[in-house]
């Protein structure tokens, strides 16, 4: 089977995408698939067959830079010619994880791995996903949203104080902790908001709870399966871009040290959220356990989680009894199956 792996892209997570793609390509080739690398550079230009492999030479995570969306986006000719039987998108962040690339592949009639257009767009949007999950009765940290089109914000500090400091300020549609700030005092709030607005026109201001950070890998459609949970323990600050990719300042515990009852509740919550948001194929559901009370809070869903050597998604399936090659096989099978169902009248 010929598998197209799309990676890179104009988002701030370009360098992370390269590392994920390299791992996926190695795994697919080892499993016997013919892989066609399909790279997109930092300007949003498709590289084509000759240059796609060369882009992987850029591997090496570097501090994120604001993406440059200038220029037109021609399509890789191999997609137009249907040279691949299925696509494995490994584009993290906007353009690749927000329903954009999924819409392109749907329009071309090409099967692909992962969530569809609607779920991808919804899960990428921290504000809309929190609204929907909250409506379903699942707890989230107290939050408010800001829209750059309505700037300046009247009584911003007062509104934030009603949530209670410390706070997290986040771009609504960005991953890998890009643009996120932890704000301890009111006087630092506006600077953090301006930083978040560098990455998106909407910003989430969220209460910083005293919590444990728990992640669960989900696989499948209906019924989906949940892995054993993992836990992120930042040694200082919070789990930011540097802690994820550039140093060892965070401890990743797989499986998470939880009681049997907690593990069961976490997995059930993750599966319910996956279903509420209309996910299919795969996603990583991120939750909080409040220290002291033990209450579970929804954080966010990542529909194209990292596949780097240290990424939680494949790691949690490995400890749950599903090795990496088998995981890749199942993801491809799920993508093909969904495409067949959607193509049947």
The residue with tokens 């795969």 is 282
- Report angle CA 291, 297, 301 to the nearest 5 degrees: 130
Local structure of residue 308 (DSSP, 8 states)? S
- Ramachandran area for residue 253 (φ above 0: left; ψ -120 to 50: alpha; else beta): beta
Q: How far apart are CA 197 and CA 186, in angstroms?
A: 18
| Structure token pair of residue 299 | 């954080």
CB of 31 closer than 8 Å to CB of 329: yes
Q: Is 315 a catalytic residue?
A: no
| Structure token pair of residue 196 | 């978040």
| Structure token pair of residue 134 | 């909250």
User: In 3D, which of 72, 73, 77, 109 has the Cα closest to residue 91?
Assistant: 73
- The active-site residue, picked from 33, 112, 245, 274, is 245
- The active-site residue, picked from 17, 181, 302, 320, is 302
- The active-site residue, picked from 286, 299, 320, 330, is 286
- The active-site residue, picked from 15, 17, 20, 176, is 176
**Contacts of 206 by beta carbon, 8 Å cutoff, 6+ apart:** 141, 142, 143, 163, 167, 168, 169, 170
Q: Is 29 a catalytic residue?
A: no
Q: Is 286 a catalytic residue?
A: yes
CB of 64 closer than 8 Å to CB of 94: no
For 301-333, give the DSSP string.
EESS---STT-HHHHHHHHTT--HHHHHHHHHH
Q: Which residues, listed in sequence order, are joined to residue 302 by a DSSP beta bridge?
A: 284
- The active-site residue, picked from 96, 300, 315, 330, is 300
Q: Is 284 a catalytic residue?
A: yes
- Report angle CA 243, 63, 308 to the nearest 5 degrees: 55
Q: How many CB atoms lie within 10 A of CB 286?
A: 20
| Structure token pair of residue 146 | 């800001």
Q: How many CB atoms lie within 10 A of CB 233?
A: 13
Q: Is 338 a catalytic residue?
A: no
Q: Which helix (H) or strand (E) holds 69?
A: none
Q: Is 300 a catalytic residue?
A: yes
- For residue 290, count CB atoms less than 10 angstroms from its CB and return exposed for 0-12, middle for 13-18, buried for 19 or more: middle
The residue with tokens 């440059």 is 68
- The active-site residue, picked from 173, 212, 284, 338, is 284
- The active-site residue, picked from 9, 44, 281, 306, is 306
- The active-site residue, picked from 4, 9, 11, 13, is 13
Q: Which residues are catalytic?
A: 13, 176, 245, 284, 286, 300, 302, 306
């Amino acid at each position: 089977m010929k598998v197209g792996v799309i990676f890179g892209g104009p988002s701030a997570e370009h360098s992370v995408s390269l590392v994920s793609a390299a791992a996926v390509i190695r795994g697919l080739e080892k499993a016997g698939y013919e892989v066609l690398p399909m790279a997109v550079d930092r300007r949003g230009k498709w590289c084509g067959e000759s240059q796609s492999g060369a882009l992987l030479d850029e591997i090496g995570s570097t501090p994120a830079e604001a993406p440059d969306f200038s220029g037109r986006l021609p399509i890789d000719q191999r997609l137009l010619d249907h040279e691949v039987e299925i696509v494995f998108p490994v584009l993290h962040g906007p353009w690749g994880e927000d329903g954009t690339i999924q819409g392109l592949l749907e329009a071309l009639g090409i099967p692909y791995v992962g969530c569809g257009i609607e779920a991808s767009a919804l899960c990428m949007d921290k504000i809309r996903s929190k609204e929907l999950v909250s409506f379903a009765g699942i707890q989230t940290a107290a939050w408010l949203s800001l829209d750059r089109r309505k700037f300046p914000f009247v009584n911003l500090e007062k509104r934030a104080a009603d949530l209670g400091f410390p706070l997290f300020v986040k771009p609504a549609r960005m991953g890998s902790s890009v643009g996120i700030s932890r704000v301890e005092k009111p006087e630092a709030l506006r600077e953090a908001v301006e930083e978040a607005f560098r990455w998106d026109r909407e910003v989430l201001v969220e209460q910083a709870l005293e919590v444990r950070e728990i992640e669960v890998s989900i696989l499948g459609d209906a019924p989906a399966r949940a892995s054993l949970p993992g836990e992120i323990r930042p040694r200082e600050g919070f789990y930011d871009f540097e802690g994820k990719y550039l140093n060892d300042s965070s401890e990743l515990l797989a499986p998470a040290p939880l009681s049997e009852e907690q593990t069961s509740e976490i997995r059930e919550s993750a599966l319910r959220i996956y279903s509420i948001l209309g996910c299919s194929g795969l996603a990583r559901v991120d939750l909080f356990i409040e220290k002291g009370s033990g209450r579970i809070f929804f954080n966010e869903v990542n529909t194209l989680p990292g596949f780097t050597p240290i990424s939680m998604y494949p790691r949690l399936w490995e400890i749950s009894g599903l090795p990496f090659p088998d995981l890749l096989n199942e993801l491809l099978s799920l993508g093909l199956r969904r495409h067949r169902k959607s193509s049947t009248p």
